[in-house]
Structure 1
Amino acid sequence: MTNEATQQDGSKPKDDLSEDQKGRFEVWFGLSLALFAAVLAINELAGGKYGDDELKMTTEKTSAYLWYQSKGIKESLAEGQRDTLKALIASGSVDAAHRSGIDQTIVELDRKIARYEAEKTEILEGSASLGPDQQVLEVDGAKGKVVGVKDMDRDLQRLSAAGDRFDIATLFLQLCLVFGALGLIVTKPKMKRTFLITMVVGGVLGAALSAMGFVALGVL
């Protein structure tokens, strides 16, 4: 009865917003939504870019491991041939006329084994970690361009950590925009304040996580 009487007198119920309050809320919601929407756009752009980089590097790492394994197989075959020849010599199965030729073959096999071992080391460590005299592999006709598997592992860990932060940041920022939209719809002051606070908290958390993603990448 009291509320009805008040409304009939032309005054607003306590739960309704005055024009001044409504204007302030619209400004706060509008600015906050615009700000956090911009942060979300930057976050998703970075997440997509570095996510693609992670996929590309994973493929490159797989190729490097296959390259490493092929060198290991060639090294094992050369070692097997060398050991077989040494066993033949030790058993006396090689006559003196052929001994010099077999010794030369063993020397060549030892050189191959040493080269394969050096190539495996460069594939694992990368050219940058080795001296110029230890760089034996060529990429595009030049030495010193091999990116090591260990370097790729470190970069992948960094990209993965950043990607996780970007994903969680996207979740918080999207929830923030949802709460902001709901806050614009409701009319009760308490609910508007609740949604505004929730939106700001979610947006700040999302922005912080996004910044942590950039820090993990070394951008900030």
Structure 2
Amino acid sequence: MSKNTVEVSVASERAEAYGGVLIAFFAALMAISQLVNGELEEEMMIAHNKVVNYSNWYQSKSIKESLKESELDNLEALMYTNAIAEDKKSFVYDKIENTKLKVAKYKAEKKEILIGSKNLPKKEWIQDLDGKKGVIVGINEWKSLAKKYDIATRKFDFGVLFFQISIVLGAVCIIIYDNPKLQKALVITMVVVGFIGVVMSIYGYSLAP
């Protein structure tokens, strides 16, 4: 066996060793990224579900408000046309005032459900949740959270993709034999692509709420 052949074999084996170590390293990072990404996706689904639930809640308040507004219009029309007996007018007046209060209450509750308790003064906390006031996370807030989680998970997906490409390059590096130049190029490319995966994963994590 010639000296050049021995040198090529040694260089090739060294490249294979680097490739194997890097495969294990980037595979571990990919597993961590997938784990974190899975948790973020769960949070994103929770946020999306909250948007749907709170939107339905908001809609139910709107329906109740509309019904009370219609009732108020009818009562005021009756008073305007003098269709109410004199001895019943005080009762109708009270009914009108009570209906106005309910309409105002529904409006305030809708506002709190839409923008959240923390974005309102404490005196405007009207809607309770499980018997507690001031704990409403608004529809707009849930939408914002869902969007942030979505962006973060997309970055993690790109990171995982780059890790996968890096691992494939490492596998090719191991398969190729007695071509140290190509193996070296693959190792360098593998490191660069894997580094991009690390950057994308860190960026995705930084974007998560």
Q: Give SS of 2:136's match.
A: coil
Q: For structure 2, which runs of at least 5 residues remain unmatched after alignment?
A: none
Q: What do the CA deviations read for 1:176-218 (whole angstroms, capped 9, x no partner)?
A: 1011011011011122122212211211111111111011115
Aligned counterpart, 1:193 = 184
Higher RCO by CA contacts (8 Å cutoff, separation 6 or greater): 2
Question: When the two structures are superposed, what TM-score results if normalisation uses the length of structure 1?
Answer: 0.89
* Mapped partners of 1:53, 1:16: distance in 2: 54
Identity among equivalent positions (%) equals 34
Structure 1 position 154 matched with structure 2 position 154: no
- Structure 2 partner of 1:105: 95
Partners of 2:7 and 2:121 lie apart in 1 by: 76
Aligned amino acid, residue 175 of structure 2: I
- Partners of 2:14 and 2:36 in 1: CA distance: 33
Selected match of 2:43 from 53, 58, 62: 53
Partners of 1:161 and 1:216 within 8 A in 2: yes
Distance 1:120 1:43 in 2: 39
Structure with max Cα Rg? 1
Q: Which amino acid aligns with 1:217?
A: A
1:67 aligns with 2:57: yes
Q: Does the C-alpha gap of structure 1 residues 123 and 15 become closer, same or farther in structure 2, counting only changes over 3 Å?
A: farther
Deviations 1:38-85 (A, max 9, x none): 210111011111001111111111000000000010000000000111
Q: Is 1:86 the equivalent of 2:87?
A: no
For residues 92 and 190 of structure 1, the distance between their equivalents in structure 2, rounded to whole angstroms, comes to 100
Structure 1 runs, 4 residues or longer, greater than 3 Å off = 12-16
Counterpart of 1:35 (choices 16, 20, 25) is 25
Number of residue pairs matched by the alignment: 208
User: Structure 2 CA distance, aligned partners of 1:44 and 1:200?
Assistant: 19
Alignment partner of 1:155: what SS? helix
- Residues 66-111 of structure 1, C-alpha deviation per residue, up to 9 Å, x if partnerless? 0000001000000000011111111222221211111110000001
